Structure 1
Amino acid sequence: MVVSMTGYGIGMAENANIKVTVEIKTVNHRFCEYHIRMPRQLFILEDKVKRQANEYIRRGRVEIFIAIEGEGLLTKRLKLDWSLADQYFAIMSDVKDKYSLSSSPSWQDLLHINDVFSVEEIQAENEELDMILHTATQAALSNVKAMRLQEGAELKSDLIKQLEKISFIVGRLKNYAPAVAEAYKERLKAKLAEVTSGMMDESRLLTEVAIFADKADINEELTRLESHHLQFLETLEMIEPIGRKLDFLVQEMNREVNTIGSKAHDSAITKEVVEMKSLLEKIKEQVQNIE
């Protein structure tokens, strides 16, 4: 199954008091990497969100944006630092006694001292928040999956077309390759005849042609290209993530094409090699986006 690593989805869920919106974007990446942005009161649920996403996404850079709206999500509590207040009153009493002051420190004075009073935010307990977040995330992931599958189907179709073009070229090379040695034989024969005034050694000629034919033989590389082609098509039908395997097969196909290019002693073969390398480059770019 071909699944693209590019996707987008949004999901929302709410009750009478809370509304959660989850937005997910995915792009290609060598591994599975998460970047989650959410309100502080949801941090405790971050691992749950990741585990939920792992059921849908196996590879790629995943950006998750979570927004929450509603009443009663946080409660505020006034907090007094008793230790600091005790120190203040103790010091002020010492000052009063030392300088014989008539007035004593009052509680109103504490209001003007930094850090004695502070406001603490506490997450309000809400049993439905977890469920609402799960529902919104599920909806977003379903949309992401649908988009990734749709684009994956398009990638698969395009890959098959590119592979068919390479297959046609391989077929042409298999038919044309034997003629390369024969053409070399005729060129060598003409050159030797010119140099030796027609008194050439036929056995020497055949030996040279045989050596050339062996060095220029590309049948093995063509056979491996056909094998890689079949493996590629089989891999496209697998259910698990296939991106890395396809990338490996493209590298192997490139290696065979490069070898054919190094053996080529014919302009027609060189032209076909250039075309295959161009097609493989397109395939490689497409494969980079497959999960």
Structure 2
Amino acid sequence: MIQSMTGYGKSVVTFNEKKIHVEIKSLNSKALDLSTRIAPLYREKEMEIRQTISQTLKRGKVDFSIWIEKDAAADATPINGALVDNYYRQIKAISESTGIPEPQDWFATLLRMPDVMTKTDVEELTDEEWNAVRNGIDTAVNALVAFRDQEGAALQKKFCEKLDNIAALLDSIEVYEKSRVEKIRARIVEGLKSIPEIEYDKNRLEQELIYYIEKLDINEEKQRLANHLKYFRETMDEGVAQGKKLGFIAQEMGREINTTGSKSNNAEMQNIVVKMKDELEQIKEQVLNVL
């Protein structure tokens, strides 16, 4: 079963008074293109996070975010009451000794003093918190993988429909192929008969006709295209990371369809070839989304 490169996953982990949000999304890309936005507390674990994601996702343009939502009351910057009292007594003493008037608005003055509202505690990441966060990351990544699986199943169904359409169109060529050879032969002979003054060797003409008709024969192209259709189906069932291989097979299918068109020399057959190209183009567009 193939897997799409398009996906989305998220999780929310609660640890103490925090809500830790993890979000990850991916789009198609030739290789793994990972960008991260990580809350400062968890930046020391960035390499571990990147390694976890790269081992699981393999390819795609991946955006990963982790941020912390804290309770407003718990995250409020505390006022240093002892320092406020100290500033108050110092200012009052200076006012009394110098005669400088005391401030009209004591609170506004004191709250502007250095370090009164400075948060001095440094938060450290504990093993317990990191284990909780890592579980949240795993949950988000697994959700994205499940999303990719679902999209991959839809892509595989679409591919099978397109392959069936190309196979049906390929079979429909046979009716015109048989009559085409006779029409070419008759047209050449009639052309020669219309020029009575020209003499020609009938045996040599027959040899040249056989050579010309063999050059227009498309049996090999039909067989190779049928094999490519079968191989495309088999490759889809081999595993999840088959996008590049399917792209190469689609290219080979295109070569056989183009050669069939150039050899057809028949309006009906060329119309069928155009329809096959249209079905194949839709496959090529969607193959870019396959992991």
Work out the CA distance in 1 between the residues paired with 2:162 and 2:199.
51
What does residue range 193-272 of structure 1 map to in structure 2 within 5 Å? 193-196=193-196, 201-272=201-272
Work out the CA distance in 2 between the residues paired with 1:287 and 1:142.
23
Work out the CA distance in 1 between the residues paired with 2:51 and 2:26.
16
In the alignment, is residue 156 of structure 1 matched against residue 165 of structure 2? no
In the alignment, is residue 68 of structure 1 matched against residue 63 of structure 2? no
Shift of 1:222: 0.9
For the structure 1 residues 6 and 134, does the alpha-carbon distance in structure 2 shift closer, same or farther, using more than 3 Å as the test? same
TM-score, length-normalised on structure 2?
0.79
For the structure 1 residues 119 and 14, does the alpha-carbon distance in structure 2 shift closer, same or farther, using more than 3 Å as the test? closer
Work out the CA distance in 2 between the residues paired with 1:210 and 1:218.
14
Q: Deviations over 1:176-217 (max 9, x none)?
A: 323322110011111111212797643243223212211111
Q: Which amino acid in 2 is paired with 1:139?
A: T
Work out the CA distance in 2 between the residues paired with 1:253 and 1:125.
55
Q: Deviations over 1:143-187 (max 9, x none)?
A: 211211111111000100000111112212244323322110011
Work out the CA distance in 1 between the residues paired with 2:24 and 2:219.
49
Q: Which amino acid in 1 is paired with 2:37?
A: R
Partner of 1:95: none
In the alignment, is residue 51 of structure 1 matched against residue 51 of structure 2? yes
Partner of 2:273: 273
Gaps of 5+ in 1: 77-117
| Cα RMSD, aligned residues only | 2.7
Work out the CA distance in 1 between the residues paired with 2:121 and 2:251.
56
Q: Is 268-277 or 63-72 further displaced after alignment?
A: 63-72
What does residue range 91-130 of structure 1 map to in structure 2 within 5 Å? 122-130=122-130
Partner of 1:184: 184
SS across alignment from 1:9: strand
Work out the CA distance in 2 between the residues paired with 1:213 and 1:204.
14
For the structure 1 residues 290 and 38, does the alpha-carbon distance in structure 2 shift closer, same or farther, using more than 3 Å as the test? same
Percent of aligned pairs with the same residue? 32
2:32·2:54 contact (CA, 8 Å) conserved in 1?
no
Shift of 1:27: 0.3
2:15·2:129 contact (CA, 8 Å) conserved in 1?
no
Q: Which amino acid in 2 is paired with 1:137?
A: I
What does residue range 6-45 of structure 1 map to in structure 2 within 5 Å? 6-45=6-45
1:193·1:200 contact (CA, 8 Å) conserved in 2?
no
Work out the CA distance in 2 between the residues paired with 1:67 and 1:32.
23
Work out the CA distance in 2 between the residues paired with 1:21 and 1:119.
24
Work out the CA distance in 1 between the residues paired with 2:217 and 2:120.
80
2:42·2:125 contact (CA, 8 Å) conserved in 1?
no
SS across alignment from 1:239: coil
Point out the structure with the larger strand share.
1
Q: Which amino acid in 2 is paired with 1:23?
A: E
For the structure 1 residues 199 and 38, does the alpha-carbon distance in structure 2 shift closer, same or farther, using more than 3 Å as the test? same
For the structure 1 residues 119 and 160, does the alpha-carbon distance in structure 2 shift closer, same or farther, using more than 3 Å as the test? same
Q: Deviations over 1:7-62 (max 9, x none)?
A: 11111111223321101110000011111101122111112222222343121111
1:23·1:66 contact (CA, 8 Å) conserved in 2?
yes
Q: Deviations over 1:242-276 (max 9, x none)?
A: 00000000011111112222222111221121111
1:12·1:139 contact (CA, 8 Å) conserved in 2?
no
1:181·1:212 contact (CA, 8 Å) conserved in 2?
no
Gaps of 5+ in 2: 79-117
Partner of 2:94: none
